[in-house]
Structure 1
Amino acid sequence: MHFTNVFVSIALVGTVLAVDHSVKVGGNNKELTFTPNNINATKGDTVTFHFWPSNHSVAQSTFAKPCEPMSGGFWSGYIASSSGGAMETFMYTVEDETKPVWFYCTQGQHCISGMAGAINAPATGNTVDKFISSAKAASSVVIPSSVAGTGGMLMNGTMTASSSASGSTASSTGAASTLELNKNVAFTGLLGMFAYLMM
């Protein structure tokens, strides 16, 4: 009985500790950047891309071909905003923290302008800076043939008026609310388990 409770508790702790990393795609001054352009995440974490003016996307690529879609990789599709953060976001779940995930914007010549980034890029060797330099040297930007939303989760939310230097504050509905609910339920279950074990 206690073993089952301990096992469930360990599973709940993993859920509680998962983190959502926010990435600003573009900016109010039409910057061609991902901020931050390298996210350090662990397995189970999510990375949510928030889209700013005017029309951007995020697609998974490879280090060798930074401005071309990776076969079977994720793609948000194009998400437009005329001012501030778009209501629609794209969420990707990290499956293996030991393998870097490379990405770029497929809009126009944005990738060639350096609009590229990574999740868990190494600090030496194939760094995010080398990846962006390779993107700037690419001869073309290839648009994925996959359907918008592939490999992640498109979400609609309501952007609040407040924003910070690194991005914006958003309260989302749908999938994001479910994610928060799951974290809250897991935390409540964890507290209940500790109370039970203390008896």
Structure 2
Amino acid sequence: MRVAPLTGLVAVVLTVAGFLLFGDTPAYDAPGREVRSYYDDHRAQLGVSLYLLVLASVLFVFFAAYLARRIRRVPPAGEWLHRVVLAGGVLIAAGFLVGAALTLALLDLADKSSATGAALQALNAINEDFFIPFVAGMGVMLLATGLATVRAAASPLPRWLSWSAVVLGVLVFIPWVGFFAFILAGVWVAVVSVLLARRPEPV
């Protein structure tokens, strides 16, 4: 079971690598010809990025399931908030998978002469703004974890990690601040992954 919590760390690493490989994608209001040119020229790079994000989505579900199991042992709030923790992980995965599907559609259409510039522009706008589900999922997972453990006597997390989960879980939903909170939430997941791996689950 010591390997299970490390799925969170690996998921974060894959997510960072996947987003970095996206590069400087066209803005949401970019014209169709610019969208076509970018996705046609970066086909291999974006293909690898999609693969990494799909893997990350699977690992986020595994991490959320393990974290939920640990939270479930924290009475009284953990007895129901563990379900919210898992739901947050599933929402992260769903956001990544749908976002990957949108990018794949752009890759498929970029070299098709039948795809109009207006269609590519519209699909690109949706893809560029499709971040709410996985950002919200991260916020839900952290907020539920923090609320379940922040005042618990037998918490699997140090108090400072519980409080930081509550703070980041709230900040993720605040415009302009949410992007930076999402990045810090990734750091939180990595830290918690290592911590839980070093603290075996009590029998």
TM-score in terms of structure 2 length: 0.34
Which is helix-richer, 1 or 2?
2
